[in-house]
Structure 1
């Protein structure tokens, strides 16, 4: 049986589909798919099967890269200074435990339903189309904002490393609201470069991920070793500024959990592994 034409096949088809949006929404929003539909019907409508280009160690590298991303270098200092203090260790343990529990859920779904849809498909068979749409939109915004924050953090670190003020990399757009009007040219260049590499080839982007993940792990090992060698145990109990709160819990339990909420940002990305379940 011939499949119906796509809503984007012609401009007239698009206008017709646009006019049918309210009725389609009312019909599909509460509807719930089944695992069989996701594994067979949805895949058949997606077209020909894509060639598998990733191997088991690529998937492991992508999983580690998602959990040990650049966010760990961006959030740790701020969370420690503003919220948790030395108890940032406990904040990371709490955030890691929460990420682990979420990873178990993703693993269970990925084994049960090995499709490329990820969280969108999982929610579509549990809560329906509308919940899946909201989650998909939130995931897109999550990745956009987290990538922007990491790219901007890269500019700050590079500026500090080479001794050039961060303001030199940015220009102000008068038409934008204050606080959102500084355009970071280097961060934009980093995001565009990574995007082009990802769009060029899945295989090459996996190789780049393996290289960057290896560098991240080496940097973390370096920081840990330098901390044991050059660190001062008094920093756990006595601040450099006498007017600042002191002790291992300078901001109390609430500061530890606030710090955990911030450093959880470092684990964003591990859920993307489940979207590669078909590999």
Structure 2
């Protein structure tokens, strides 16, 4: 269904997405209200089985919090899909940052309220991991209808998330298909609807195959590690772009890159050291001292970089505030959460990354060079020139 919808015009698919998202938000608000209305605040700190489960508001300590954060980090993917729609909005320099920032804030608030309501409904060790919200109401007298409503809303949420993800990914494949990084067939734009029809169909089939043949836990961990790594790279790219650039537009003289690159490398090593100490150092005062010292070194590195290296450019309208503290915090947090994932996730991510690198080296480099030399990419359908053709306008 998602593939067929996105094969039509973006206006039509956006209307469908808007309606489904609106209904989904209503379901979320319904869950939050029911959770707070029928929950018990004492469940936030008491387990259902005190003999076998620790109690307290942080029953598994800080390690449990960060391990959980790494596992559910995939909940924050999808905002990058907004940036892929830059060709399809009137003021991308204004609308894209506003859309990303606003959606992150709104969804964060809803996630926190849902987590709180769930924790109030049941003690943490009594929550059904397969169906937490619907299971919480299923055993309550007269609340079976709430469980059914929540189940329907969850199914709708899966459809909404799938459609939003495909909307952005199809445009992304279209753009890199134009440059030859992937087969130009994926850049084929339907002449009637002006949408990347081949990319949408390919993603629909691929998504269905993954859902059919792959276990959910495997997909969740793989998506989490991929998302964390991408966010880590983006944070470093923000530092590089802000501190290495053309200080005088049109002069053609770029600032030396080595100070920014040295900071990126050094700060990443500090974050990795902190993560390894957190994971493997034996507990005690020595561990606390090492962690505190590493954190102090990280802060000192940011302070020194901010004092010694001036920014090469200022954003015209929107820009990351608090440079370089915000991207540095993002780098540190992403590296730390990456250290909380299990070993099989790294093995799968390694195979996927190796495949991507080999594909890029043996295909994308040559194909993109040929596309640049030819000045256009043939979409595989009658020689249409797609190099300058937008993916839905």
TM class, shorter-length = 0.3 to 0.5
* TM-score normalised according to structure 2 size: 0.36
Q: Which of structures 1 and 2 has the larger relative contact order (alpha carbons within 8 angstroms, sep 6+)?
A: 1
